[in-house]
Amino acid sequence: MASRPELILASASPRRLALLNQIGIEPEHLVPAHVDETPEKGELPRKLAARLADLKAIAAQQKARQAGIGGNALVLAADTVVAVGRRVLPKAEMMEEAADCLRLLSGRAHRVYTGVCLLTPSGQARRRLVETRIRFKRLSNREMEAYLASAEWKDKAGGYAIQGIAGSFVVKLVGSYSSVVGLPLHETVALLSGEGYPVTFNWLNQSNLTSV
């Protein structure tokens, strides 16, 4: 019988790991991949998300092999981009960046793109790109100031985290909630299952735990 394949998550994001854990998946290895996330000239947001997911997967696979781990593992990477039209919003590092994002998103619609790339041990890539449309309510100055003070926006694409306080800003969402958090679960499961990864392996154990 073939051995159960291992999984490398090419991310340091606790949100992506938590999403995988939510569906009973625990990667054998966490190998964060740091790549240049600067958009290319004229690059559309959806192309950027797909390209960065690919780069992260390749970088993590190389890093893992150099460390002598996961030689026969699948490598899962994702990248999330928030955009208003063709404009890509930054992953806010400074409060001023987050404030600019909030002012731009207030009372209007935007799109969130998450690219997912699954690399096989032979280097073949399986990809998905998920687009989600979101509309924010009009934010008052008080709400913006309080949100900025919360610091929840730090290192978040578009300067907000939908799974936190900013969830109260969302008037409408069309698409995948988990994709906005950082990893579209339906598409990820489809990719993993297509490569023989036993997605349901831990579900029985989970059932036993919850019944105790």
Task: Quote the crossing angle between the two packed helices 95-105 and 141-150, to the nearest 10°.
Answer: 140
Long-range contacts of 65-72 (CB under 8 A, 24+ apart): 67/31, 69/8, 69/29, 69/31, 70/6, 70/8, 70/28, 70/29, 70/31, 71/121, 72/5, 72/6, 72/121
Residue with tokens 């690399």: 119
Distance CA 110, CA 57 (A): 27
List the end-to-end C-alpha distance of the chain, in Å, as a whole number.
Answer: 32
Q: State the amino acid at position 8 in one-letter form.
A: I
Q: Is 79 part of the annotated catalytic residue set?
A: yes
Which run of H or of E encompasses 150? helix 141-150
Active-site residue, selected from the candidate residues 54, 79, 100, 155: 79
Question: Active-site positions?
Answer: 79
